Chain A
Amino acid sequence: MIFKKDISSLHVPHNKNTAGCEPVKIQTPKEVILPMNMHSGGEAEPIVTVGEHVYVGQLIAREEGRFSSPVHATVSGTVAEILTLPTARGKEVKAIRIDSDGKMEADPNMKAPVFEGCDGFLQAVRESGVVGLGGAAFPTWAKLNEATNPDYKVDTVLINAAECEPYITSDHRMMLAHADLIDDGIEYMRKYMSEYLGDATYKICIEKNKPDAIKVLKEKFADKPYVVIHELNAIYPQGAKQVMLYNATGRVAIAGKRFPSFGALIINVSTLAKTAEYLNTGMPLVERIVTVDGPAVKKPGNFIAPIGTSIRTLLELTETDLEKVGKVVIGGPMNGNATVSVDSPIVKVSNCILAFDEKRATLPEPSACIRCGRCMEKCPVDINIGAVESAMKIKNDEKKEAALIDTGVRQCVDCGCCSYVCPAHRPLLATNQDAKWWLKQYERSKQSR
């Protein structure tokens, strides 16, 4: 790259109110609800029956379908019910409810996995139930497996510790407490995937607004020349993988290509640590750090909670008046998803719970576009956003496809900067996502014809 510039562009208020809050382990909840879709692929299939006793870390649902991931019990107790839960998209998903016996007994047969070679390593990661904890929920073994494709030559592993979304500090706190797990994770990758990732540089990409974590990591990796702590400006959206690739390596991600084809692998820092934890101890992904914050939360904080704990439990711990909550978001305010009810459980990727009061629960009504160009100015990948809206209205499919591709909408990183700055409050991100979905469907239908 001759000239390199930072393409992230939006100064959002950081609101990292909980950066100083040490994660507190919550009291064992009375029950946990574990949905079968806590990963990006097919729904997992329950293998336990109602009334069965389970230990913490016991396998209760196996993979089913592509890019699926196993589910483990997160409390000890009895399986109370196999139920269906409504999702935010209006569908239903199978879930397992476990009544806790309060003992948090781990599986007595649990031991660190024994494995050999790259295949054994990937199989072990597969059994850990770890998925991309940054939000994508893509099974980690599948991501690592991509690096073994002989077509790709991965020379950089980007460890995503940007945590660029406002409010969230769970990765930050994890790094302060478990730098050794990050180290272990890197060593596992180097050892067992030496053929593919042995010579790679490991870049831990972290925003400058976490100086304490940067210091810890720098000390930790001082004597490892292959680990680089790459400091990023604290400007949204550093954590979007295409933006991170560009800002950390100068390479440009091209839409429709698999990420390792750019010579880089990207993995969230908590994902890496959880993988290492499983490989060290045999304890699969059963609990995580959750930041609980938001305008309706009185005493924000970080909590270590078993996956499947209800949002209500966490909000009560922060003295939130549930009557006044108008919206609950899982994830960050820019990219998270609103959830159906406060009784929904936290899932594997729930790094943050945000509660908004009724006033902030709905955004203003959209009005006419005044062509101010703010959306395009803030777009990290320079999509012609205004044109996406008009292209979506074209009736002729072929013309619509050409017009949409011309806008560059396939490059969209889903950061939401456009919607954030729009003075007319137009749902630009949603339109972009619709456009990408339409393009995918259309291309698929063209191929099958």
Chain B
Amino acid sequence: MSSHEHAPVGGRLLTPVTFFCVVLFILALAVLGVRFVHGLGSVTHLNDGYPWGIWVVADVVIGSALACGGFAVAALVYIFNKGEYHPLIRPALLASLLGYTLAGVGVLFDLGRYWNFYHIFMPGYASPNSVMFEVAVCISLYIAVLWIEFWPAVLEKFGLADAKKKLVGTMYIFIGLGMVLPMMHQSSLGSLLIVFGHQIHPLWQSMLLPLIYLMTAVLIGYAIVLFESCVAAAGYRRSIETHLLNPLAKVMLGVLAAYLVIRVGDIVARGALATAFQFNLQALFFWLEMVCFALPFYFVGSEAMRRNPANLFLGGLYLLLGGILLRINSFLIGYMPGDNWSYFPSTGELVVTVGLFALKIAAYIIITRRFPVLPREQHAVAA
């Protein structure tokens, strides 16, 4: 975490992009106002068959998975001792921080009795055998850990070198927690679905769901680093860290290959493959998901293709889409509560979800412009 690695990007905070994002967020706030005054039913299309909608699936399940960059890169740097990826840690950590914090806040919107939220922190209310309890506790703890992990950047910004030194001295504890906690709850998000039993379509219902969810969380972590580096490079007109992203893409492909072997092997072993060839929504979305998982091999599979940053970007993007689709498919498309139940998010739900993602983008831009997060540029960049 040496200070020479990172630097603020600088520039104006109010740009058309940040302005547009803030407007979207204000729209979301308006919808949330209605939700908190008149209740969930007034805004959402949730019903007794579908008590979880996109606020849970997109804001929490997908939001926290997209925030796995910090965890995935930290695993490379600290567990596999690949120090060369260190410059990527802070931006990934910032994305994780924003993603997890807003996932935690997003849970509040979906809680019917949100005023009881603090019960999760009270031992008297704890139900240690519950998967949901584990997810909730791990996510809350991990949010705290992420803030601590990111804190050196803030101290650096305000020139508090002594404080930063002390904090960095204890950082190994938080790095350890920062590895364990996401592994616990990202896998548990899959375990949640096991509890649903036959209500989940056989293409997704599996005892391997915890592993599937954990591996895709790691994959999404690498993909988001590719994606975010490319977008930051394009958006800030910076040079792209191809020398870091290329080997990272190779690591990513290795994990992806392992994942696909496990995923397809599991479907075949459970005898669920036939359901993929039926003509229905589930099968269609299953193939969409699989195609998204396969496309990165085309885009970043060869050294030649990887040389073009656009392919790195597209490879990361399709892997992201694959991970997102897996979560949407297993939580909503492949979720079958019984005859006649249906769910499609309402306008209000979509506005809130879009607003939350917009807030993340705005916050990412504002923080990277003012705090030392992104890798320091080697050369002056043409404005």
Q: Do A and B bind each other?
A: no
Q: Which residues of A contact B (CB under 8 A)?
A: none
